[in-house]
Amino acid sequence: MIPITPDIIGPGIEEEYADAMERIIFLLDAFKEYPPANDNFFGRIVYQLLWLRQEIEAQRLPIPVDRSYIGTLTYLVGSGDVNKTQEIRLRLGELARILQGPGLIKPRHYPVVVAQIEDFIVLVTKHVPAAQLLPVEREALEQFATIAGKLLRGEIKLPVSKQDYPAWLKVSPLVHFDEPFIPNGGNETRRVTLPIFGGWRPYPTRKPPLPAPNPGLDPRAPDMTLMRDLINTKTS
């Protein structure tokens, strides 16, 4: 693993706020035909987005924010009930990832991903005899090496689609959908597929908890009807 410098970690909470607001604005536009309401999923996510916009603009939102404040968002990311388009599905997932702390991958993280891939390949080839690797596993390692080379040459941006690297769509003792088996430990390569195929910030570059510039939120959310009434006051 390469040294993780402050430049790789990057800016503080202002970056998370900017990333979140970009997705909130997109989603509010995508759901503009739906008024805020508590009797349907579209209305509930609009309430959630309006509240998030309000708290980010006031700089009251810490990162990560307690799950109790974003229950509607996290539920709908899992259920898919408002996923009218693939782009909506993607942006909802990214917003949840930002607010929960893992964050999004940036080009400054690419050298870390290359190092993760290289470390992963070394660990596998060191601890698993080549004869014991299945053909799909050898193919997966070759595809990882291809991704690393393209990142070094500036030929691709992350995330990439597993459809373009189909060995990573197949399940084997080594290749799993989210977390490949890492022989003999290998913490530096933890969840190496998430930055590559999911666009997550690489594990070694995660930011520490970021307090809100203007603290004020309780550690856990109060009854959400209070937030609904607050939003109604702001929007009426």
Structure tokens at 52: 């998030």
Q: List pLDDT tens digits, range 74-98.
A: 999 999 999 999 999 999 999 999 9
Residue 152: exposed, middle, or buried by beta-carbon count in 10 A (0-12, 13-18, 19+)? exposed
Distances (CA, A) of 96 to 120, 165, 191, 229: 28, 26, 18, 23
CB 41 within 8 A of CB 82: yes
pLDDT greater than 80 at residue 158: yes
Confidence class for position 176, pLDDT limits 50, 70, 90: low
The encoded tokens of residue 134 equal 């299945």
Q: What is the dihedral of CA 163, 168, 169, 171, to 10 degrees?
A: 170
| pTM for the predicted model, two decimal places | 0.84
**Residue 221 pLDDT level (bands cut at 50, 70, 90):** confident
pLDDT tens-digit profile of 16-57?
Answer: 999 999 999 999 999 999 999 988 999 999 999 999 999 999
Taken in order 48, 50, 52, 54, is the CA torsion positive or negative? negative
CA dist 152 and 2 (Å) reads 14
d(CA 210, CA 138): 41
